[in-house]
Structure 1
Amino acid sequence: MSAADTIIVADRVHTLDPAGTRAEGVAAAVAVKDGLIVAVGGAAEVTAQWRGAATEVQHLPGATLAPGLTDGHMHPVFGAGSFRGVDLSGCRTVADLRAALAAAVAGTGRGEWISGFGLDHNTFQGAPITNAVIDEVLDGIPALLVLYDGHSALASSAALRAVGIEGPRTFASRSQIVCGPDGRPTGHLLEDGAIRLVRDLMPVADLQERRAQVLDLLHSMAATGLTGGHVMDCEGDALELIAGIEELPLRLRIAPWAMPGDIDAQIDHLLALRGTGGPRWSVDAVKFFIDGTVEGGTAWLETADCHGRSTDSFWHDPAHYTRAVQRLDAAGMQAVTHAIGDAGVRHALDALDPSIGPGGPAGPGAPSVRHRIEHIETLPYDQIKRFAHLDVAASMQPTHTAYTRADHSDDWSTRLGAERAGRAWCCRDLRDTGATLVLGSDWPIAHFDPRQVLATAQLRRLPGTDSRPVGPEQALTALMALEGMTTHAAHATGQGHHAGRIAPGHRADLTAFGLDPLTAPPDELAEAPIRLTMVDGVTTHRG
């Protein structure tokens, strides 16, 4: 038996390995060799069998070792490029917004742009989102302010003039340039097709600078215990950017977008791209949008919201989406679908239901692949039960509940009405029906810190706050939450045989907490020190 490269000794090890029940609860050491776990057990036992002259022994007194945490939904490249400039997340009123922009104007030269991010729809307190409230303070400087959902933005009049937007336009998707009764644009842009018109004109940093920004971001993520992420975009030169990073601190699984318009050609290209990758990154899935967001009025609901909106798919003809998903299924490539409204989720499930349509998605002998649906913000119980039945993974972001209020006075809840708002983020129902439930942040929509995700999943409020929980009956147990970023994240990608657990033969992706994530109060877990983060047996953070 050859010696291990590294032995990690902690107070306890949570293996999350059903086959390792003997080790669970008594294990305190893990041996790693060539990037894989080779032994799990007591400290004396593992050290005696696997320590050699060159073995590094890392002692972590007081720590709990767990499988490496994976963020099930993130946008590190897209977010670093698009959510930049002025942080508007603290604005609560239009006066706050104007003050923040006035400060930005003071440091902006003529010919430059102002960009902002994180703007809450609730800032407008139910009034229309319009550049009329910002143009004066901007004093002719073009600006693009991305709202927190990432699916809508507010462009100043100067920005619209720079792009040549003077009225409505037609898009392949259900994107929209919102116009007033006079037919003039209000500056409110809905969905990627409309936002991109302005964004593509804005100056961007060169590739090397953006690569450095993304690498710095990934190191910050590793410091919070993350070892991997499911990346839900791949726009522009994103692959070139990632491929140029010599050693990624996180393992990235990438799902490029497939959008309405010339969809067959897109699927051909994405199938050819499958398997593209390098050390710690790969292209393995395709991301679709079946709808947008509740706050933007672009979610797909069974019945309209309070403004009479949100009754349409992102696709003018949803059948094109269905055929594209079924092509991927037949080819054995995973489809990942953004679906927020109840009608959107139902249609995404229908597309994968072999009892619906001509023979179901996959023909006889077709490769088996587990598909997934993202966000799932409001859903009746009869649709929740279908996830386990169809073996479709649910991917949800517990920290998004922070954009709602328990009394339903926020914009999201008001649009939906009390009944649908009462079905907000039904995480526990999904787990209790046997579904695979992946947890993530959707960074930059919410903070990437996985400790916040784990804590909020249990609290149904942000840790460290005294706000009332949103749907407390949907709280997860500590174990369910941890599984959502470990075993279930691996299972959802078909990698459960070598990832998501601490077991011999599995990848040595590990996270060490300064306390026990299964017994600590969630508010304390959110502040817990991260003692060690390891990917492929390489330490990416040591606290």
Structure 2
Amino acid sequence: MSAADLILMADRIHTLSGDRAPTAIATAGGVITALGDRADARDWRGPHTEVIDLGRATITPGLVDGHFHPVMGIGLTRGVDLSSVRTLEGLRSALRAADVAPGGWLEGWGLDPNAFEGAPITHAPLIEAVGPDVPVFLLLFDAHSALVSPRALAMAGVGGPRAFTSGASVACDADGVPTGHLLEMEALDLVRTLLPDDAPAERRARLAGLLRRMAACGLTAANGMDFEGDSLELFRSLEDDGELPVRWRFAPFVMPGTGRDGLDAVIAQQRLGGRRWRVEGAKFMIDGTVDGGTAWLDEPDTHGESTACLWPDPRDYTAAATVLAGHGIPLVTHAIGDAGIRYVLDTYAALARTPGRPSRVPHRIEHLETMPSELIGRFAALDVTAGMQPTHCTGYTRADHSDNWSARLGKRRADRAFRARDLRENGARLALGSDWPIAAFDPRAIMAAARLRRPAGEPHVEPVLPEQALTARMALEGYTSEAAAAAGLAGRSGRLRPGHHADLTVFDLDPLTAAPDEFAESPIPLTVTDGSITHRTR
């Protein structure tokens, strides 16, 4: 064996391979070269080997976020952070305190619809806070809806309902006057295209800072669920200046109305990549959100909404998916409601019987917010990855069903929510993530929430459907071995074995034995991606 580039030693190393527990690991050339005891490390050293003894720390395979929007996210998280707003008065206060240049836009993001306290979601509090003449664009937490002011609507020329290619809509009152609530991407873009652009240098700096913060949380890789706008330029530019601290797999969007030219463009994008990033996949949305009334449910929600596919004709989704799958492209589909999940599973089942070049990477369904038991077993049977974000449940729903999401669904459907444990126990591959910027990306808090079914650090909060809690090992696997298998990398990543990628995360506390609330605060002394230290505190 050639000399190691890096040797790490720690009291606990969780290989997730079922092997005996080592206390030392060596890497060279971006791969793991040896595992053993501290005494063995003497034989792995060379004149240029860096050796770090981490003492009582715990080393695990590198953490992978299953669902992330890096470039879209740096554009969405502009203006006032409204994620902590819980009441209408809190919203008005936050808007009054915002620093807005004369004649400029007031932007905000992360607004939870529960802040409206059961009142209709309209621009009334915006008018009360800043008056009718300020252009305001507030992105709601799900990024599928926005609240805009009368001035913003006027600037966009929106004076009534609009027809869209997708299931988007401009919410209007009984007289056909827009309320300020815009639902889904095409409607949001009516106003969003008017917002001032960030300077390219500023966007590049924000993305670089984001990647550094991700590494500081122990993340070594992530799945980018879009590749729009200036994504290519940004990632090429960052990689021109050095190695990325986080690996990326990207799946460009395929939106309703995409024709053959658009599909050919997605096919061509699959050739793009760099040293630590590549395009591999295509991202669809079969429906919207429960909170916005745009999910696709078997039965209407309590507002009479969420009854339709985001694609006006679902068969167009199937046709587009068939074209891309025939080129060996792995598909990712956002599916929130029971009808949407069922339709996507049916589509994937048909793809397995369709001639073409099969993907080496399993197809995925993301979010899976409410579904009946008869759908659970189909994930393993069809080899479909379930992608879930535990803090979507713990951050925005309540055990007593008093939140907007649960109230819209009603008790029966809210009682079959975010069924992570059922999926795992029925053999499904379960990859965990954040969906940043929809929710914070710190994997420690997300793994803790997956175990607690409530926010980490809030023991007074009643767990939401605690029978769906994951074990500590399941939560760690969702960020490591399950994530690797979801990317078709089970033989090269996700476990600590010689020949596997040298992606490592180091915790002060043991993720398998520490109490979840305590683990959520565990320091990260070191992160290693591709054998290189991307974050260190000691």
Same fold (TM over 0.5): yes
1:396 maps to: 388
Q: How does 1:19-98 map to 2 (within 5 A)?
A: 21-23=18-20, 25=21, 27-45=22-40, 47-98=41-92
1:126 maps to: 118
User: What do the CA deviations read for 1:379-407 (whole angstroms, capped 9, x no partner)?
Assistant: 11110110000000000000111200000
Q: How many residues align?
A: 531
- For the 8 Å contact 2:328–2:356, the answer to whether it is kept is no
RMSD of the alignment, in Å? 1.2
Q: 1:275 offset after TM fit, Å?
A: 3.0
Distance (whole Å) between structure 2 residues aligned to residue 420 and residue 137 of structure 1: 36
Q: Classify the secondary structure of the residue corresponding to 2:9.
A: strand
5+ residue gaps, structure 1? none
Q: Classify the secondary structure of the residue corresponding to 1:353.
A: helix
Letter in 2 for 1:451: R
- For the 8 Å contact 1:352–1:361, the answer to whether it is kept is no
Q: How does 1:375-414 map to 2 (within 5 A)?
A: 375-401=367-393, 402-414=395-407
- For the 8 Å contact 1:31–1:38, the answer to whether it is kept is yes
* Residue 93 to residue 364, structure 1, CA distance change in 2 (3 Å): closer
Letter in 2 for 1:254: F
Letter in 1 for 2:449: T
Q: 1:263 offset after TM fit, Å?
A: 3.0
Q: How does 1:286-325 map to 2 (within 5 A)?
A: 286-325=282-321
Distance (whole Å) between structure 2 residues aligned to residue 369 and residue 449 of structure 1: 26
Q: 1:362 offset after TM fit, Å?
A: 2.7
Q: 1:369 offset after TM fit, Å?
A: 3.9
* Residue 367 to residue 512, structure 1, CA distance change in 2 (3 Å): closer
Q: 1:62 offset after TM fit, Å?
A: 1.0
Distance (whole Å) between structure 2 residues aligned to residue 480 and residue 49 of structure 1: 35
Distance (whole Å) between structure 1 residues aligned to residue 178 and residue 353 of structure 2: 41
Distance (whole Å) between structure 1 residues aligned to residue 231 and residue 360 of structure 2: 29
5+ residue gaps, structure 2? none
1:499 maps to: 493
Q: 1:111 offset after TM fit, Å?
A: 2.0
User: What do the CA deviations read for 1:233-263 (whole angstroms, capped 9, x no partner)?
Assistant: 1221112111110321111111110001133
Distance (whole Å) between structure 1 residues aligned to residue 251 and residue 224 of structure 2: 6
Letter in 2 for 1:285: G
Q: 1:367 offset after TM fit, Å?
A: 4.7
Distance (whole Å) between structure 2 residues aligned to residue 368 and residue 534 of structure 1: 27
User: What do the CA deviations read for 1:16-40 (whole angstroms, capped 9, x no partner)?
Assistant: 12xxx333x2x01110001111111
Distance (whole Å) between structure 2 residues aligned to residue 95 and residue 353 of structure 1: 49
2:10 maps to: 10
User: What do the CA deviations read for 1:299-351 (whole angstroms, capped 9, x no partner)?
Assistant: 00000000111010000000010111122222111100000001110001000
1:250 maps to: 246
2:214 maps to: 221
Distance (whole Å) between structure 2 residues aligned to residue 68 and residue 366 of structure 1: 28
User: What do the CA deviations read for 1:2-53 (whole angstroms, capped 9, x no partner)?
Assistant: 2011101111110112xxx333x2x0111000111111111112x1321111
2:339 maps to: 343
Letter in 2 for 1:526: A
1:262 maps to: 258
Q: Aligned match of 2:230 in 207, 214, 237?
A: 237
* Residue 365 to residue 153, structure 1, CA distance change in 2 (3 Å): closer
The yes-or-no answer on 1:209 pairing with 2:202 is yes
- For the 8 Å contact 1:326–1:361, the answer to whether it is kept is no
Q: Classify the secondary structure of the residue corresponding to 1:244.
A: helix
- For the 8 Å contact 1:292–1:300, the answer to whether it is kept is yes
Distance (whole Å) between structure 1 residues aligned to residue 167 and residue 236 of structure 2: 33
User: What do the CA deviations read for 1:250-286 (whole angstroms, capped 9, x no partner)?
Assistant: 1111111000113322211111110311121110011
Q: How high is the TM-score relative to the length of structure 2?
A: 0.97
Distance (whole Å) between structure 1 residues aligned to residue 432 and residue 487 of structure 2: 13
Distance (whole Å) between structure 2 residues aligned to residue 282 and residue 113 of structure 1: 35
Q: Classify the secondary structure of the residue corresponding to 2:181.
A: strand
Q: Aligned match of 2:348 in 352, 355, 371?
A: 352
